[in-house]
């Protein structure tokens, strides 16, 4: 039986892990181990970094193919997978959910980096709602230290937040009604997000649109060159069968 390593941490990765055994594949999912209580995929799971490209290269001895289904903004692990798989001539597929470009509104303010997002947020409002993840908050603390920022994270961040900031700890999926309430009741006047794409975190975008709240959105990092890419689980299954 072909053994597939799924680089995970996303809903797509969990969905792929759930269907592959019925398709005749053995599966191991890999998680970074950042979140205290991660949503676990079904089946076999390994947790923690591999130790860079060399560590991943060594680990690949146990597998026949790799599906990189990590988050679109997890650029380091994706680049490591390209290098490690190339050095072993191991088939590598990128499974990446479509971004929100096609659903975008002309009023969205697109930026390339989180630092630019902080600047844009300060220009747009006084009560920004940061939904960029715990690991990126450090890029906002100094530029937005005097604003009454509302920041939503899954786990407590390991940094001191400015006294004016308010933290919400929660995790998706979110409903549109709940997102509307969060924005409305907290008087949010600018939403800051990454172009995560997919349905899971889309309701905040729709709520912001309904409330006429401007959106600052960070573009995705570039996709590594030369790696075949699909956008849904069915296509990933088809690719794996073709590679077998």
38 touching ligand NAP, by CB under 6 A: no
**In the complex, minimum distance from the CB of residue 187 to ligand NAP, in angstroms, rounded to a whole number:** 26
76 touching ligand NAP, by CB under 6 A: yes
223 touching ligand NAP, by CB under 6 A: no
Buried b / exposed e over 197-234, threshold 16 CB at 10 Å, is bbeebbbbbebbeeeebbbbbbbbbeebeebeebbebe
Residue 119 CA to residue 127 CA, distance in Å, equals 13
* Longest CA span, the chain: 57
Contact with ligand NAP (CB under 6 A) among 14, 57, 71, 152: 71
173 touching ligand NAP, by CB under 6 A: no
Give the interface segment with ligand NAP, choosing from 75-83, 92-100, 165-173, 178-186 (CB under 6 A): 75-83
**In the complex, minimum distance from the CB of residue 153 to ligand NAP, in angstroms, rounded to a whole number:** 11
74 touching ligand NAP, by CB under 6 A: yes
How many Cβ atoms are within 10 Å of 1's Cβ, its own excluded? 10
**In the complex, minimum distance from the CB of residue 191 to ligand NAP, in angstroms, rounded to a whole number:** 16
Find residue 194's DSSP bridge partners: 218
**In the complex, minimum distance from the CB of residue 107 to ligand NAP, in angstroms, rounded to a whole number:** 24
Using alpha carbons, list the distances in angstroms from residue 47 to 7, 19, 36, 83, 170. Answer: 10, 20, 12, 20, 22
Pick 77 or 211: Cβ nearer ligand NAP = 77
| Residue closest to ligand NAP (Cβ) | 49
Axis crossing angle, helix 233-243 with helix 11-19, rounded to the nearest 10:
50
Contacts of 120 (CB under 8 A, 6+ apart): 109, 111, 192, 216
57 touching ligand NAP, by CB under 6 A: no
83 touching ligand NAP, by CB under 6 A: no
Q: Which residues bind ligand NAP (CB under 6 A)?
A: 7-10, 30-32, 34, 49-52, 55-56, 70-71, 73-77, 80, 133, 135
């Amino acid at each position: 039986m072909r053994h597939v390593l799924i680089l995970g941490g996303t809903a797509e990765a969990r969905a792929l892990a759930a269907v592959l055994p019925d398709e005749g594949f053995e599966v191991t999912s890999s998680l970074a181990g950042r979140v205290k209580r991660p949503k676990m995929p079904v089946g076999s799971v390994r947790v923690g970094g591999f130790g860079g490209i060399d560590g991943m290269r060594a680990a690949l001895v146990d597998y026949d193919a790799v599906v990189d289904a990590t988050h679109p903004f997890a650029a380091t692990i994706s680049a490591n997978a390209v290098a490690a798989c190339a050095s072993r001539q191991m088939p590598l597929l990128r499974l990446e959910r479509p971004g929100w470009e096609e659903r975008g509104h002309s009023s969205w303010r697109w930026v390339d980096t989180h630092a630019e997002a902080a600047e844009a947020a300060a220009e747009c409002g006084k009560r920004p709602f940061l939904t960029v993840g715990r690991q990126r908050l450090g890029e906002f603390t100094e530029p937005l230290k005097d604003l009454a920022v509302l920041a939503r994270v899954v786990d407590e961040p390991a940094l001191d937040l400015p006294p004016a900031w308010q933290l919400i700890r929660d995790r998706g999926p979110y409903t549109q009604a709940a997102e509307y309430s969060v924005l409305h009741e907290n008087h949010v006047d600018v939403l800051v997000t990454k172009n995560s794409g997919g349905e899971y975190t889309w309701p905040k975008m729709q709520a912001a649109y309904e409330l006429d709240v401007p959106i600052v959105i960070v573009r995705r990092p570039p996709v590594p060159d030369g790696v075949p890419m699909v956008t849904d689980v069915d296509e990933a299954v088809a690719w794996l069968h073709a590679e077998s």
